[in-house]
Amino acid sequence: MARATEFETRNGFARDAITLANWRTRPYSFWSFRNVAEMVRSARIKTTSSAELPDPVHNPDLLARPAAPGASHSIEELLTRSEADSFILSRNNAIVCEWHAPGVDRSDPHLVFSISKSITALVAGILQDQGVLDPATPVGTLVPEAAGSAYADATVQHLLDMRVSLDFDESYLSLEDYARYRRAMSWNPPSDAGNDEGMLSFLCSLKKADGEHGGIHDYLSPNSDMLGIVLERATGERFPDLCARLLWQPLGATADALITVDLHGAPRTAGGVSCRPHDLLAMGQMLIDGGVAKGNQIVSARWIADMQQSGDADVWARGTQASFLKTGRYRNNWYQVGGGSNAFLAAGIHGQFLYCDPDSGTVIACTSSQSEPQSDALDQGLLAMFAMLSADG
């Protein structure tokens, strides 16, 4: 009998057991979400300030607290039940608790899925402030290939607010629309026919749904992949380089981030970014500090105020994600909690969160490898815990 490799002993399965067909499922995702570049071709979002992470701040007393008022389970038990990989809480720019699941190296980058949309929106906001990007511009003006698609007359702002009229089914386990989409982004095995398109071709094949752009909030990921292509066309610069120059380097990120790309190099700006949880936390801190980090004004206070205040609560309430945040809003690819709270957040499937509460100075980064792409029960439990921890500030 062949001797088990060190990888197999540590992870419980052999490296060659992980494929494009199963890398987003347990148990493999616990490893692959921290090693995406081995599964999908990826480009680097380079930092210029590589650094060791600060010493971990253990806080067993906080982790032992009830996860909600009157709850019988603790914060640590909720994190474990939620298949969280890393959890970092800071208050007033100081980390007060850091927790990682057994087997997680705290320096690992982690796939943040749709938090990528929020990162891309920050880059778009910087370009808007520089006068390089007008959010009222029709997508077809910047991407002529989109003529004849739903995107031809959708504006950049429609992309940012998820108010594009698009005939697409955002069902993550779909064997039709979403499976074709994931083949186009190189996240799934190629089809047997061998004629899969790239990202741009796929996006430009999508047609308009009934109704005009600018209607209800309709959360559809292709919008954010088109946004990445729009940013590349507006600047003539590849998105990984653009993001590095405008965001990652001024932020003082401790390590390079990564973004998956299709076979033509198109970036998966809707969900392909991997980064260290500590750098995710720093991004949230920058936003509650008025867009400033390391002495750099990265995002304008004007853009942050627009993101926090300009989402339409009625549009949200009639949209496709209303159950996620009962009193929520959505603007510029960021969620606002609403209901009297000034907290805002970025979120991704399989349990990724960046929660920011400017009133209490609280930032929470949580990365996970949940078995299911979406779990309303787990999402609501984590959101309630984040709100409780913020209120304690």
Tell me if 288 is assigned to some domain.
yes
Tell me if 300 is assigned to some domain.
yes
The predicted structure's pLDDT at residue 175 = 65
Tell me if 160 is assigned to some domain.
no
**DSSP letter assigned to residue 91:** E
CA separation for the pair 243, 273 (Å, rounded): 11
The CA-to-CA distance between both ends of the chain, in Å, stands at 56
Please determine, for residue 356, whether its predicted confidence score (pLDDT) is greater than 60: yes
Tell me if 162 is assigned to some domain.
no
For 153, phi and psi rounded to 5 degrees?
-110, 10
Angle 39-227-331 (CA atoms, 0-180°, nearest 5)? 110
CA quadruple 108, 113, 117, 118: dihedral positive or negative? negative
**99-112 average pLDDT score:** 97
Strands (E) located in 261-310: 273-275, 292-293, 296-297
Domains identified in the chain, total number:
1
The predicted structure's pLDDT at residue 241 = 98
Specify the CATH number for the domain of residue 126: 3.40.710.10
Q: Which value, in Å, is the radius of gyration of the alpha carbons in the chain?
A: 20
Give residue 35's identity as a one-letter amino acid code.
N
Tell me if 3 is assigned to some domain.
no
Reported as a pLDDT band with limits 50, 70 and 90, residue 122 is very high
Tell me if 242 is assigned to some domain.
yes
Q: For the whole model, what pTM was predicted?
A: 0.97
Tell me if 374 is assigned to some domain.
yes
CA quadruple 217, 223, 225, 228: dihedral positive or negative? negative
Reported as a pLDDT band with limits 50, 70 and 90, residue 354 is very high
User: Residue 124: which of 294, 276, 303 has the closest Cα?
Assistant: 303
Tell me if 109 is assigned to some domain.
yes
Token pair for 109:
């980058």
Q: Residue 369 belongs to what domain range?
A: 37-132+237-391
**293-313 average pLDDT score:** 97
